[in-house]
Amino acid sequence: MDGQPAQVVVVGGGHAAAAFVNSVRRAGYAGRLVLVSNEPALPYYRPPLSKKYLAEGQSVEQILIRPPAWYDEQQVQVRLRTQVAAIDRAAHAVALADGGRIAYDRLVLATGAQPRRLPAAIGGDLDGVLQMRHLADADALAPQLQPGRRLVVIGGGYIGLEVAAVAAARGLQVALVEAAPRILQRVAAAATADHFRALHRAHGVELIEGVAPARLLADGHRVRAVLLADGRELAADAVLVGIGVQPNVELAAAAGLAVDDGICVDPCARTSDPHILAAGDCTSFEYRGQRVRLESVQNANDQAAVAAHTVAGDPKPYAALPWFWSDQYDTKLQIAGLHLGCDDALLRPGKTERSRSVWYWRGDELLAVDAINDPAAFATAKALLASGRSVPKAAVLDPAASFKDWLA
Ligand SMILES: Cc1cc2nc3c(=O)[nH]c(=O)nc-3n(C[C@H](O)[C@H](O)[C@H](O)COP(=O)(O)OP(=O)(O)OC[C@H]3O[C@@H](n4cnc5c(N)ncnc54)[C@H](O)[C@@H]3O)c2cc1C
């Protein structure tokens, strides 16, 4: 097609990269498309790594985003196990760690994020200290999931809690340590945290909040315990560190692109260089007057679709509604919206003892909802937020008030 870039290169092999190559073909881009990923596998769904893949031993094929044949059909040249080492903006080319170069007319950075690590000085590099981001991480943890073994999870965010749930259900002795005053401190209200704390304790997880790990203790080079700041020692056959991620912005920063927590992008997924776009966990952008960096499948997919339309010459600014989910034991949490900047959170009981929802407000503006085993609350919240509507707080607190009436 006239005016379209001749060659588009995507750096990354995760959700955003896979969504971009699909969306850009659907948007009518017919030029050369190259996907460069440092992973050994084709793009796969990451959420199952701390859920079904770990719990049920799914195969790699079951979690691939697209089957291998799809990339050939769509004429996407995939280069796996290939690290992009630098961007040469002047020459419009990327330099590979193996010495090769690939020219681009448009470059899409979908480099994702990497887990924060505990410093080696306190034992973060010991054998048996694991993280959870890539397939290889889940494969390293899987052999540890034997009944009776002791797992210490450091970090009470969603990934730490999900791994703790899988391990506890498998019969391990699980302790989870959160340095902040409570679990889910950064991402959810106290009411949501209360629910998940009780759930984990009911499944036998020793959940410790407000105490930092001081040091990991070893036998030789293998971790044997976590020493807490209050002097307690938690015996461990393995330690899972889930203390958040940092965006992979090194390539962008070294190339002089604007970076502020993530790679800065405009509503059409353009970076500060008009020939370079970015999508997914590696980006930061303006959302309702605040700069945010989202770590979710929804954002990776939707922002990649935005980038695809920009590349195909049909820009459509990002207007998606953030949403997220987490599975722990038989509990499903679904989150619509972003609670950032909220000044009030109200708990609405659900129809059953196991269901409830937490509604986040700034003044009278509804910002987000955490729906726990309550798909109707999630669907209602999504519809309300998507249409910019709210409901009176009194209605949320009234169990007799029906979602149907709010949507009418
Ligand atoms: C265990 C786990 C569970 C999750 N559960 C949920 C969930 O329930 N719901 C939800 O919404 N989200 C969940 N997420 C988050 C979600 O998976 C991420 O938001 C999503 O993967 C982001 O996609 P991405 O493409 O931006 O980044 P990634 O999926 O991280 O992909 C980035 C890719 O780029 C590659 N790469 C980086 N640098 C280079 C380079 N220089 N050269 C070549 N390749 C490079 C990386 O190896 C990787 O393949 C979970 C994440 C994890 C790890």
Q: Is the Cβ atom of 9 under 6 angstroms away from ligand 1?
A: no
Q: Are 197 and 234 in contact (CB under 8 A)?
A: no
Q: What is the pLDDT of residues 89-110, one digit of tens each?
A: 999 999 999 999 999 999 999 9
CATH superfamily of 117-242: FAD/NAD(P)-binding domain (3.50.50.60)
Q: How confident is the model at residue 407 (pLDDT cuts 50, 70, 90)?
A: confident
Q: Is the Cβ atom of 262 under 6 angstroms away from ligand 1?
A: no
Tell me the one-letter amino acid at 293: R
Atom of ligand 1 nearest to the CA of 295: 19
Q: Is the Cβ atom of 36 under 6 angstroms away from ligand 1?
A: yes
Report d(CA 268, CA 303) in Å as an integer: 8
Annotation: CATH topology of 7-114+246-311: FAD/NAD(P)-binding domain (3.50.50)
Q: What is the pLDDT of residues 309-320, one digit of tens each?
A: 999 999 999 998
Q: Does domain 330-407 have CATH number 3.30.390.30?
A: yes
Q: Is the Cβ atom of 38 under 6 angstroms away from ligand 1?
A: yes
Mean pLDDT value across the chain: 96
Mutate to test the pocket of ligand 1, among 240, 281, 292, 302 (most ligand atoms within 8 A of CB): 281
Q: How confident is the model at residue 2 (pLDDT cuts 50, 70, 90)?
A: low
Atom of ligand 1 nearest to the CA of 327: 8
Q: Is the Cβ atom of 96 under 6 angstroms away from ligand 1?
A: no
Q: How confident is the model at residue 289 (pLDDT cuts 50, 70, 90)?
A: confident
Residues of CATH 3.30.390.30 domain(s) within the chain?
330-407
Cα 113 to middle of ligand 1, angstroms = 6
Report d(CA 171, CA 102) in Å as an integer: 49
Tell me the one-letter amino acid at 193: A
Atom of ligand 1 nearest to the CA of 16: 25
Tell me what percent of the residues of the chain surpass a pLDDT of 90: 93
Whole-number pLDDT of residue 125: 98
Q: What is the pLDDT of residues 190-215, one digit of tens each?
A: 999 999 999 999 999 999 999 999 99
**Average of per-residue pLDDT across 78-97:** 98
Does the pLDDT value for residue 1 go beyond 60?
no
Q: Is the Cβ atom of 168 under 6 angstroms away from ligand 1?
A: no
Whose Cα sits closest to atom 18 in ligand 1? 296
**Average of per-residue pLDDT across 145-162:** 97
**Average of per-residue pLDDT across 238-245:** 98
**Average of per-residue pLDDT across 394-400:** 90
Whole-number pLDDT of residue 400: 87
Q: Is the Cβ atom of 322 under 6 angstroms away from ligand 1?
A: no
Report d(CA 64, CA 164) in Å as an integer: 24
**Average of per-residue pLDDT across 268-277:** 98
DSSP letters along 336-365, please? EE--TT-SEEEEEE-SSTT-EEEEEEETTE
| Per-position b or e across 133-163, b if 16+ CB within 10 A of its CB | bbbebbeebeebbeeebbbbbbbbbbbbbbb
Q: How confident is the model at residue 354 (pLDDT cuts 50, 70, 90)?
A: very high
Whose Cα sits closest to atom 2 in ligand 1? 47
Whose Cα sits closest to atom 26 in ligand 1? 280
Atom of ligand 1 nearest to the CA of 163: 1
Q: How confident is the model at residue 57 (pLDDT cuts 50, 70, 90)?
A: confident
Q: Is the Cβ atom of 14 under 6 angstroms away from ligand 1?
A: yes
Give the angle 154-207-228 at the CA atoms, nearest 5°. Answer: 55
Helix axes 158-169, 190-202, angle to 10 degrees: 20
Tell me the one-letter amino acid at 159: I
Q: Are 96 and 87 in contact (CB under 8 A)?
A: no
Whose Cα sits closest to atom 31 in ligand 1? 14
Q: Is the Cβ atom of 345 under 6 angstroms away from ligand 1?
A: no
Cα 293 to middle of ligand 1, angstroms = 13
Residues of CATH 3.50.50.60 domain(s) within the chain?
7-114+246-311, 117-242
Q: Is the Cβ atom of 300 under 6 angstroms away from ligand 1?
A: yes
Beta pairing partners, 348: 357
Tell me the one-letter amino acid at 215: R
Does the pLDDT value for residue 280 go beyond 50?
yes
Q: Is the Cβ atom of 377 under 6 angstroms away from ligand 1?
A: no
**Average of per-residue pLDDT across 40-44:** 98
Burial of 376: CB neighbours in 10 Å, binned 0-12, 13-18, 19+ = middle
Whose Cα sits closest to atom 32 in ligand 1? 112
Report d(CA 329, CA 226) in Å as an integer: 25
